[in-house]
Amino acid sequence: MSTSTTTPAKNPAVDAIARSATRDKVILAIAAPVLAIVAAIVISSLVFLASGENPFRAYGIMADYGHYSDSQVWIINKAVPYYLSALAVAIGFRMNLFNIGVDGQYRLAAFAAAAVGGAIALPGAIQIILLIVIAMLVGALWSGIAGLLKTTRGVSEVITTIMLNAIAASIIGYFLQDGRLAIKDGNLLHTKFLPESSHFFSFPTHPKPVYGFVVIAVLAGALYWFGINRTRFGFDLRAVGASESAAEASGVSVKRMVVSSMLLSGAAAGLVGMPTLLGESFQYGTDFPAGIGFTGIAIALLGRNHPVGMAFGALLWAFLDRTGSRLEFEGYAQEIVGVIQGVIVLCVVIAYEIVRRYGLRLQQRKVGEELAALSTADKSDNKPEVSA
């Protein structure tokens, strides 16, 4: 008797509850970043004040400098590799794998692609695709070592990927010498220049062009979203991330998922160096940008592994890089931007965790309250209650 009257699907009161639950979800989703940004601004301001500077003047300078079109082009171009790196890290994060080795993976991948690209000259599109594929394969190969070691020998991927970073650097250092795979150019060593045909297209903006690779980054983000949220593979991946034991009992081969997600993460990492290689430097030299893999970790945290969130994170990071350099000219300490970036990541991580826990508790309490309310409403249909 009582069960049929409380059947939730048919109760109009329940629809209202479901709606209010959705509303809470949206509010909480916005609350987290807002909370984080406010906290980050407050703390950064305190840091400025502590160093005896006026924070508002600093923010003014940054906003003003970020306004110039050359700054904006710079920011977008910088954000592209940041974003790809964050994607690579996020693929691992979704499965509770911490791929610290994106840095080594992209550098080795870019180096391999540069070495091959400098040695051959195929028609444009074919060569570009070939180089991108090589980069992805090399990145996947490098991260796959960590995946295999984890599944076969139980070695933590945190240890192996960070070690592989060092090994990658040594390998590049060995081959990037005159007479091996590098040529000497002043006091720089770099691989042979790619032929003109393998330059990636760019958007003719002023004063400098925007990387055409931004298109690839957007596509990669969309693919990431689709793969994670809409495919069986993505569900398995998320299930392992949410509960390895439950995933295993549900039929997911956890070991296979570890290897595949490490391979995918490495393949995405392989793309990180491509905008620079195919759009700007056209060779891999000792001055090839390093450390983007670690920036990617911060941005993946900042964007909560969400493709859009990470895009904002990458742009914000690039903005801070750009405008921070300006602060130096205005008499601020150079390190202040690093402090701000660190504060932002910390604030975001803490704010999201607070909001997540609050949301879970809120939901549990609401479900309890609503069910209690429903059962009270049913009381008239029920047998009279016995009370002492």
Residue 240 C-beta: closest distance to other proteins, Å: 10
Measured distance CA(290)–CA(304) in Å, rounded: 23
Q: Measured from the CB atom, is 15 or 328 closer to other proteins?
A: 15
The alpha carbon torsion through 15, 18, 20, 22 (nearest 10 deg) reads: -140
Q: Measured from the CB atom, is 16 or 38 closer to other proteins?
A: 16
Residue 149 C-beta: closest distance to other proteins, Å: 21
Measured distance CA(259)–CA(254) in Å, rounded: 9
Q: Measured from the CB atom, is 333 or 371 closer to other proteins?
A: 371
Residue 328 C-beta: closest distance to other proteins, Å: 44
Residue 354 C-beta: closest distance to other proteins, Å: 15
Interacting residue ranges for other proteins, rule: CB under 8 A: 1-3, 6-10, 14, 17-18, 21-22, 25, 229-236, 238-239, 242-243, 245-253, 360, 363-372, 375, 382-383, 385-388
Task: List, as one string, the DSSP characters of 45-96.
Answer: HHHHHHTT--HHHHHHHHHHHHHSHHHHHHHHHHHHHHHHHHHHHHHHHTTT
Q: Measured from the CB atom, is 21 or 349 closer to other proteins?
A: 21
With tokens 């904006």, the residue in question is 72
Q: Measured from the CB atom, is 3 or 187 closer to other proteins?
A: 3
Q: For 23, which DSSP code?
A: H
Residue 226 C-beta: closest distance to other proteins, Å: 9
Residue 305 C-beta: closest distance to other proteins, Å: 14
Residue 62 C-beta: closest distance to other proteins, Å: 37
262-279 per-residue burial string, b: 16 or more CB within 10 A, e: under 16 = bbbbbbbbbbbbbbbbbb
Q: Measured from the CB atom, is 22 or 152 closer to other proteins?
A: 22
Three-class SS string for 166-229?
HHHHHHHHHHCCECCCEEEECCEEECCCCCHHHCCCEECCCCCCEECHHHHHHHHHHHHHHHHH
The alpha carbon torsion through 116, 122, 126, 128 (nearest 10 deg) reads: 50
Q: Measured from the CB atom, is 50 or 388 closer to other proteins?
A: 388
